[in-house]
Amino acid sequence: MWDGMINGMLTGISTTMIPTNIGMVLIGCFRGSLIGMLPGLGPITAVALMIPVTYGLEPTTGMVLLSGVDYGAIFGGSTSSILINAPGEAATVATALDGYPLARQGYPGKALAIAAYASFSGGTISVIMLMFFAPMLANVATSFQSADYFALMILGLTAVSAFAGRGGVLKALLMVVLGLMLATVGTDQTSGVQRFTFGSLELLDGIEFLLLAMATFALTEALSIVLKRDESSDSLKPKMIGFKSLKVTKKEFKKIAPTIGRSSLLGFFVGVLPGAGATLGSFMAYGMERNLASPEDREKFGKGSLLGLAAPEAGNNAASSGSFVPLLCLGIPGSGTTAVMLGALIAYGIEPGPRMFIESPEVFWGVIMSMYLGNVFLLILNLPLIPYFARLLAIPRNLMVPMILFFSLMGVYLITFNDFDILMMVFFCLAAMALRLMNYPMAPLLLGFILGGLMEDNLRRALMIYDESISFMWERPLTLGINLATLFILFFPILRSFIASKRRNSVRFD
């Protein structure tokens, strides 16, 4: 086993170190970063735009280029989330929760630098694990059934406690339910029945994630700046945004290092599961860190916490690399992006799966080894540019608000080319603004919307397998284990509060 792995790694290194492939990794990372920074364009769009370019390339070179674009787009997607609160990709929604507040406090350079370090660390750790455990983890992925995936989605939804302040768990749960309801709008893919379309042709395909994300985050943030007459963007002068602003102290590094390690491991294992992807990895990493944080640190989540920024960035990049395990080892796309890459592999005449180790080792190991090189390139490319990106926040409010509105509306329109979507964005924006004024969190809404379709599909399949019985929730040991973990996470905050109150009472009596 180890001899084959070492030989494969040597094959990957010799393949990746060819000047042409090194150049393709660099080009892919650069193009992916640029596309990922634009609100409304994510990794799927970035990879799809580059597929025509790969037709004239060798299979290894083409796949190395697409891989660079993929993790480059994930790496760069945090920039718009942090600077203008416009998460154009689902995987960067959790990044905006603490990244944007930290940037508004006058630390945009530090926020982008921490995101870059966390992304690099998450990507590197996941690549190392991918090299050593890919065949083994492929067997783990095949053991998951629909019941297990449904239980995993419920586990992901328990992360709502991470987005709720004191006394706000019920509000967060209500927003999750609203997100699940919105996910049912459109045509049922299994039965073909129209649901909650009200006879509108525009709603037959459901509601676009990008539309909902831009309306609930970017547009409402622009309106909040106007309503609150926030002067913070005017007070942030260009002289405050230099290379010194990138400095992360030794104490801060020491604080976020365990978070990055835990989130990278969690993100990678979530990414290995087909269909889970970087989005669930980032949300679960954020929820885990908030529940593990001390009471003092927990109060900072949602207000510019360094832990709340590092966790989802490490989680989504690790999950992005982890999604290559089912793609390369099983031929099953682990995410929407790898589904596009699966099409590219088939176009090259390569059949991904267990025999790919033997029939196309240079492609398999070349892609894996290029990931580490790509993470190094991304760090080198992005860090020097951070001060220039951060200058966006030095733009006066009367210019910043129109810019946010323009990029949000045009980002959606250029995807759908439908005037109805713009009107729906305005409606969701006004509704979200009213909910925000009543202190309802928006992240649980998006989490419920993202996981709604996956939950429904897996629940339907599980019920078919178990003859419409809900016994599937406890019959399989794996499903039962996930459900027990869900219960523990759900009741952990209550248990923690109970223990804290007991300690206070004991101190009082002493």
Question: Predicted confidence band at 232 (pLDDT cuts at 50, 70, 90)?
Answer: very low
pLDDT for 238? 43
Sign of CA dihedral 353, 265, 317, 127: negative
Higher pLDDT, 100 or 224: 100
Q: Where residue 287 falls among pLDDT bands split at 50, 70, 90?
A: confident
- The two tokens of residue 165 are 């302040």
At 228, which helix (H) or strand (E)?
helix 220-228
**pLDDT at residue 246, rounded to an integer:** 66
pLDDT at 235: 46
In Å, what is the CA distance from 445 to each residue of 196, 242, 375?
A: 18, 36, 32
241 pLDDT higher than 70: no
Residue 395 host element (H or E): none
- What is the pLDDT, as a whole number, of residue 79? 79
Name the region of 440 (left: φ>0; alpha: ψ -120 to 50; beta: rest): beta
Q: Are 443 and 163 in contact (CB under 8 A)?
A: yes
State both tokens at 353. Answer: 């799966």
Quote the CA–CA distance of 335 and 468 in Å, as a whole number. 28
Domain of 388? 2-509
Most confident of the following: 38-52, 297-311, 318-332, 380-394? 297-311
pLDDT band at 276 (very low <50, low <70, confident <90, very high): low
- pLDDT over 70 at 163, yes or no: no
- Average pLDDT for residues 389-416, to the nearest whole number? 71
Q: Cβ of 477: how many Cβ atoms within 10 Å?
A: 8
Instruction: State yes or no: pLDDT of 233 exceeds 70.
Output: no
Higher pLDDT, 136 or 265: 265
CA angle 256, 319, 307 (to 5 degrees): 20
Cα–Cα distance, 386 to 379 (Å, whole number): 11
Q: Of 82, 102, 372, 376, which Cα lies nearest the Cα of 248?
A: 102
Dist CA 49 CA 51 (whole Å): 6
Residue 507: predicted pLDDT: 58
Mean pLDDT of 280-296: 82
Residue 87 in this model has a pLDDT that exceeds 80: no
Q: What average pLDDT does range 257-274 have in this prediction?
A: 85
Q: What is the pLDDT of residues 166-184, one digit of tens each?
A: 556 778 788 888 988 888 8
pLDDT of amino acid 239: 42
- pLDDT higher than 80, residue 140: no
Res. 394: pLDDT tops 70: no
**To the nearest whole percent, how much of the chain has pLDDT over 70?**
79
Strand bridging mode 186-187 / 194-195? antiparallel
Question: How many helices (DSSP H) and strands (DSSP E) are in the chain?
Answer: 26, 2
Q: How far apart are CA 63 and CA 343, in angstroms?
A: 11
pTM above 0.85, yes or no: no
Proportion of the chain above pLDDT 90, given as a percent? 1
> CA 133 to CA 129: how far, in whole Å?
6
pLDDT at 129: 82
- DSSP assignment of 449-490, as one string? HHHHHHHHHHHHHHHHHTTT-TTHHHHSHHHHHHHHHHHHHH
d(CA 422, CA 228): 25
pLDDT at 279: 76
pLDDT tens-digit series, residues 345-378: 877 777 776 667 677 778 878 888 888 888 888 8
Surface-to-core class of residue 287, CB atoms within 10 Å of its CB (0-12 exposed, 13-18 middle, 19+ buried): buried
Calculate mean pLDDT across residues 295-303: 82
- For the stretch 453-473, pLDDT in tens is 778 888 888 888 877 777 878
The 3-state DSSP class for residue 280 equals helix
Indicate the pLDDT class of residue 25, thresholds 50, 70 and 90: confident
Average pLDDT of the chain to the nearest whole number: 77
Q: Which of 61-65, 84-88, 439-443, 481-485 has the lowest mean pLDDT?
A: 84-88
Residue 60, token pair as written in the block = 């290894």
Greater confidence (507 vs 178) lies with: 178
pLDDT, residue 86, reads 72
Asked if pLDDT for residue 224 goes beyond 70, the answer is yes
Count of the separate structural domains present in the chain: 1
pLDDT at 506 over 60: yes
CA 76 – CA 115 distance, rounded (Å): 9
